Each structure stands twice: as structure tokens, then as C-alpha cells.
Structure 1
Amino acid sequence: MLMIGEQPQLASPMRLLEMLADRFGAFEAVANSTIKLARYAPADELAMDMQLAEAVLEFGTDLRAALVLAQTWAEAKGSV
């Protein structure tokens, strides 16, 4: 992925992971609302099924953990 600026340059893998984690928040919002609405609405009216909603939330947790580990690794290497 190229970052837009005066001179095109590649974004660091850590920055790309951070951007991915931020963008994934929209899926987590849908998953959270699905889980809350499942108490009151029938399954066919939900944005996603419950298994998918739980998997989305689990993936989001793993994604943020990977971001923290990448940041820790970069700091240990002196890259940050």
C-alpha cells in the first residue's frame, strides 16, 4: 500500500496492521449490535448470525493483540 504524499513511500507493516485494526471496528460494531439484538429479534432479522458475530469479535481481539506484539517487537528492535 502506498501512502499519498509528496514522494510515494510504502507504509510500514506495523502501520498497515494498525489501519486494519481500526477499519475492522465497523465489523465489530455490527457484531456487537447483532449479539445485543439477538435477545429481542428473530434470527432472520439480524445483520449476521451469532456464530459469525462471535467469530468477528474473537478475530478483533486477536488483531489487536497482534498489533500490540508488533509494536513491542518494533520498539525492541529500535524501529520506533
Structure 2
Amino acid sequence: MITADENGRLCSPTRLLEMLTARFGAFEAIACLSIELDRKGPDERLPVDAATADALLEFADDLRQACHAASTWARLRDPEA
């Protein structure tokens, strides 16, 4: 993950959270697929078990909430941003 621009300026924490949220989408998709396939019957070949999939989805929600909170915090600190 790129944490600075070509001039060496660091990305804001809000931007980093946005990037992590986007990248975590792949894990979220795997979790949703695993839950859906698990409903059709147990299969040892699922990418992750149902409990892990639930934990991934919960983490995705937490990550989105953190991203939103950081964005709100940044706007309140610098209304012109």
C-alpha cells in the first residue's frame, strides 16, 4: 500500500483507512460467498468456515465505521478540507 505521494508527503489517516476498506473488500466477498455456500450444505472445501466468515464481515463493518469516524473527525478539525 502506498502511504506517501511522489514528493514524500504522507497520506492522511483517513485516506489510508479508505484504501484499507477498499482492499478488504476481497476478503468480504470471500466471506459472503462462504456463508452462502455453507447454507447449501457443509463442504470442507469452503474458502473459510462460517465463524471466520462472520468475523470477517464484522471486521469489515468496524473498518467502515472507523473510516467514517476518521473522515468526520478530519472535517470537523479542518472545515475547508
TM-score (norm 2): 0.88
Give the Cα–Cα distance (whole angstroms) in 2 for the partners of residues 78 and 26 of structure 1: 32
The amino acid of 1:35's aligned partner reads: I
Q: Distance in 2 between matches of 1:31 and 1:48?
A: 7
Matched with 2:73 is: 73
Map of 2:28 onto structure 1: 28
Structure 1 equivalent of residue 40 of structure 2:
40
| Separation in structure 1 between the aligned mates of residue 50 and residue 17 of structure 2, nearest angstrom | 26
Consecutive unaligned residues of structure 2, counting only runs of 5 or more, are: none
The letter for the 1-side match of 2:52 is: L
Equivalent residues of 1:43, 1:49 under 8 A apart: no
Q: Which runs of 4+ in 1 moved over 3 A?
A: none
Counting matched residue pairs gives: 78
What SS class does the counterpart of residue 46 from structure 1 fall into?
coil
Q: Give the CA RMSD over aligned residues.
A: 1.3
Normalized per residue, the structure richer in strand is: 1
**Structure-2 residue corresponding to 1:2:** 4
